[in-house]
Structure formats: C-alpha cells, structure tokens
Structure 1
Amino acid sequence: MSVTFDKSLETGNELIDQQHKELIDRVNKLLESCYMGTEKRTAIQTLNFLLDYTEFHFKAEEQLQEEAGYPGIEAHKEQHQTFVKAVHELLDMLEEEEGPTDAFVEAVNKNITEWLLNHIQVQDKAVAAYVQSHPSK
C-alpha cells in the first residue's frame, strides 16, 4: 500500500508537511523492500531509520504544540508513543522471522501506514490549525 503525499495530507505547516513527506517516503521504502523480498537486515535498517526519524519529527511537532499552548498535547504525545511502540513490535516480529512475511507487511500497513495517514489527516491537521490561530507565546 504505497502512499502519495497529496493535498489531503497537507496540514498547512510547511515544516511539519516536509517532515510528513519524509516519513511517508520512508514507509514506502520499507514496504517496497518487503515486496521485493529483500533480506531481513534491510527491513530492520529501514525500521530503525523510521524510529530515528519519528523521534526527530515527534519532538519537533511536540515543541510546536508546547510553544502554541496546544491543549491536547498530552493526548497527542500518547498517540506518538503508540506509534513508536508499534514500530518496536514490528522490529520484534521481524527478528523472529526469516524475513518480511505477508503477516509483517499486513502489520506495517495497519500499524504504520494507516495509523500515519489517520494521524496526519485528523490529529496533525487539528494541531496545525490551532498553531496557526495561536502564534507562539
């Protein structure tokens, strides 16, 4: 399930949108490596990069929320932690297998791709709208 960053995923915040584009690109690369039947090591490296990049991205997003006094910041942080936990679970799943299986790809689509799309379209757009109407204090 390859994803294209389009208007439906734009939040209106240039920094966040650029980071979302990078996240989506990395998720697509992970899925592509799974479909190509690459070795387990490649998928693990891609997941580890995804973890590093989400840490960077989530910190930037949360800082933006703090600066604007976003009232839903704690719930948003919890959602970010849910995503990080899902990526760790995928790493564990991959460690137990010979390589990316159909079940692994299905889990990536559900726990990474679908989560990310929903999070951007609902939660991150709400944050961007709030930040836009409440400049940094």
Structure 2
Amino acid sequence: MYVEFTDDLLTGNEMIDEQHKELIGRIHKFQEVLDSDKTGEGQLTAISTLDFLSDYVNYHFDAEEVLQWEIEYPGLDGHLKQHAEFKKTIAELQEWLKEEDTPSEEFVNKVQEKVVDWFLHHIQTADRSVAEYKNMRLDPENI
C-alpha cells in the first residue's frame, strides 16, 4: 500500500504541512517506481527517484531546523539526531539500490520500515511537537 497524506498527519504549521505533503508525494512516487518496472531501466528510474527524494528531504529538514532554531525549540538537539538518522538511512538505501540489479523484496520492505513508517511516526510525534511549541510561543493565552 502506498503512503498518502491524510489529515492525521497535519501538524498545524502550514509550512511544515505543505512540505510534508510534497515529501509524502515523493515517497509515494518512489513506492510506485519500486513496484512497477523490475528491469535495469526501472532500476535507473528508482535510483533517480530516490535521489530526488533525498534532495527534498535535505531541503525540508533544513527548513524545519531553521524554524526550530528561530523559536528556540527545547527539543532541537534530539530532533537534529532524528534527522541525521533518517538522512543516513536514505544514503544507505541509495548505496544498496546502486548495488542491486533490481530492487529486491528485502529492499522494498526496508523502504517501508525505514522510510514510510519512520517518517509517518516522526510527523505524528516530533514534528507535531514542534508545531505545538511554536503555537504556544506565539499565543500562550490560547493553549
């Protein structure tokens, strides 16, 4: 099953939510590519799609980290570690994919676990916490 952006992923921060929609769209596209063509040409498409996803991950994480720094988010260090872990996972998947002739079932399962499941959990916990903290800082009377 392909990942979709749903209302339970909304954090309440418009910038973060829009970027999450884009990122989930890219993850969805990557899942489609992995599921479609299992030929050498499909392998090249999978590699370029994962590279495209990686570029957006870096853009998105940079934006989130700037926001957290600006609002003096107390959980910034932990959030940075989570982002570093995810970037490392993406880099490992890029290397793994380049070494395979076609994406294996093991690779697809790892994408589900380490990209899809991880990212959805991260949004619903860590990112939502940042958005709530930002809202509290902007309007402490309305909490």
Q: TM-score, normalised by structure 1?
A: 0.95
Per-residue deviation, residues 24-66 of structure 1 (Å, max 9, x unmatched): 0000100100110251111111111111101110011011111
Q: Which has the higher contact order (CA 8 A, sep 6+)?
A: 1
The aligned residue for residue 26 of structure 1 is 26
- Gap regions ≥5 residues in structure 1: none
3-state DSSP of counterpart to 2:37:
coil
| Deviation (angstroms), 1:4 | 1.6
Provide runs of 4+ in structure 1 moved above 4 Å: none
Distance 2:11 2:23 in 1: 14
One of 99, 111, 114 as aligned partner of 1:111: 114
Higher Rg of the two aligned structures? 2
Contact persistence 1:47–1:91 (CA under 8 A): yes
One of 73, 76, 81 as aligned partner of 1:73: 76
| Deviation (angstroms), 1:134 | 1.2
How many residues align? The count is: 135
- Correspondence 1:28-43 to 2 at 5 A: 28-38=28-38, 39-43=42-46
Identity %: 46
- Read off the aligned partner of 2:68 and give its amino acid letter: Q
